[in-house]
Chain A
Amino acid sequence: MEKLTKRSVQIDRSPMTIGERVYLPSILKGLGITLGHIFKKTATVSYPEQKRPFSPVFRGLHILNRDEEGKERCTACGLCALACPAEAITMEAAERKAGEEHLYREEKYAAKYEINMLRCIFCGYCEEACPKDAIYLSETVMPASFNRKNFIYKKEDLLIPDPKKQG
């Protein structure tokens, strides 16, 4: 019969020779392979001490950005919430009052901003939709938690620290 593929191998069903029946040569051959791996480069890293670099397209935990002067960039335009396929983002906007110019970049800002990380699928559409460069997906893996409440990220959790206050 014609072979279907080139990869198929005819199984040899002839009785084993004495050398094969002793097993020792096969065992030694196997141990040799194991021994050889000791001198090869390891495929794993010792995690907490060593960390692998993230891929440049990695999408992790969100951050809300500030500008160079420490003003919040988000104007609560709602485009991230509109783009979000999981409907994880909600916000409420407010008008900037006189005297709050050092806090917010535009006359309108997000008074409340929330991302429900239980719903978020880390697709990065919010980052793509943002016209103000305000939201970014950082190179941080989302921390695990035993409590569902801890997955509702408020604005305070998402905002990056003020660069001026850090000094």
Chain B
Amino acid sequence: MSEPTPKFKVTVDNITVEVAPGTTILNAARMIGGDVTPPAMCYYSKLPESGGKCRTCLVEVSKGSEKDPRPMPKLVPSCRTTVMDGMEVKNITSEKVLDARKGIVEMLLINHPLDCPVCDQAGECDLQNLSYEHGTEKTRYEFPRRTFEKEDIGPYIQLHMTRCILCYRCVFTADQLTQKREHGVLERGDHAAISTLLSKSLDNEFIGNVIDVCPVGALTDKTFRFKNRVWFTKPVDAHCSCTKCSGKARLWMRGDEVYRVTARKNEWNEVEDWICNECRFEKKSAKDWVVEGPSKIKRSSVIAQGHYENTVKTPVLIDKVLGKSPKLLMNIHDVSDVNRPEIELSKIEGPAHSNDFKTGK
């Protein structure tokens, strides 16, 4: 094993990188990072066998390899194609790729409902980002969209099959976690649906992770359902001493209230460490966690709105100048109906209903 493994030179959008043989084009592009990385809806580096379904990562191979410099005749899915030595790949520099991607986004959106105002995934949705960057403004589809009844998979997970893009990520996650398959894709074609046979609830200590891997809002956290929009909650990295999982999680907080717990995600929106259901759904109190600090959020993300890094707080001098604190003309909390202390939204099991607000004044 002393001889060094030969490295393959691959060029993505005129940027050359050396990678180990067997690396896919997508992973080679991710090593470069930035804009040249193709988007991926179904590929998930933590899930073996994933990828090759959504076709958003299509790239053009303009030079096959050093030995065989012919270009590949068709666009290839970069998550499933391994690199060759001297390969030249075009992603955002290729007209063909951008045009194809536009078409793919349109196809993905054909049956996807336009219910982003209702959907809890809005703001951290891969499909939203993808269509914002690559899609067209208007839909050309005039026919009724495929619809399904919403379904509860277990006590904590809500399945909105209407929003599903059939990326199979959750199926691979469930397969990886359990020996026997409990959840998969039923039916074929337009009727294909992620489900559990006979609405059997999924009980596995790690099954909550299917929420994190879902690129759209098909699988959502019922304990967070309609509680708040993601961009109004503040993500902080925290850990706890959990015997089942690593305990490294991300809390989505508002004041001292923990609205939601998710796994930490990296720059490709992929989970760093799986977390268990207890950490995800049960520990909804700040004292269960040791907060490490605010999470790094991309500046372009809507979640970063109103969150500022390295802010300098100017000292309040009015007390010193006046010799007393200024008279408070109105305390907003006396008047406002929102954020009443007697209604703790983060502690309510599922989504809030009209009767939950009756206790307020």
Contacts and interface: CB of A to CB of B under 8 A. Distances in A.
Interface stretch (B61-69, B99-107, B335-343): B335-343
A94 B357 contact: yes
Nearest to A148: B330
A105 to B, nearest CB: 10
Interface in A43-75: 75
Interface residues of B, number: 30
Interface stretch (B79-87, B114-122, B239-247): B114-122
Contacts of B330: 148-149
Interface stretch (A11-19, A32-40, A85-93): A85-93
Interface of A: 75-79, 81-82, 90-95, 97, 100, 106-108, 111-112, 114, 116, 131-132, 148-149, 152, 154
A114 B336 contact: yes
25 contacts: A77-B116, A77-B229, A78-B229, A78-B231, A82-B302, A90-B336, A92-B338, A92-B352, A93-B352, A94-B226, A94-B351, A94-B352, A94-B354, A94-B357, A95-B225, A95-B226, A108-B117, A111-B357, A112-B357, A114-B336, A114-B338, A116-B332, A148-B330, A152-B332, A152-B336
A154 B356 CA distance: 18
A114 B356 CA distance: 18
A92 B117 contact: no
Given A93-B227, A152-B335, A75 B117 contact: yes
Contacts of B335: 149, 152
A76 B117 CA distance: 7
A118 to B, nearest CB: 8
Contact of A93 (B226, B302, B329, B336): B226
Contacts of B14: none
A95 B122 contact: no
Contacts of A91: 338
Which of B338, B352, B356 has the largest number of chain A CB atoms within 10 A?
B338
Given A94-B351, A97-B354, A116-B332, A106 B232 contact: no
A107 B357 contact: no
A79 B122 CA distance: 11
Given A82-B305, A92-B345, A152-B336, A111 B231 contact: no
B353 interface: yes
Contact of A108 (B118, B345, B357): B118
Contacts of A75: 117-118
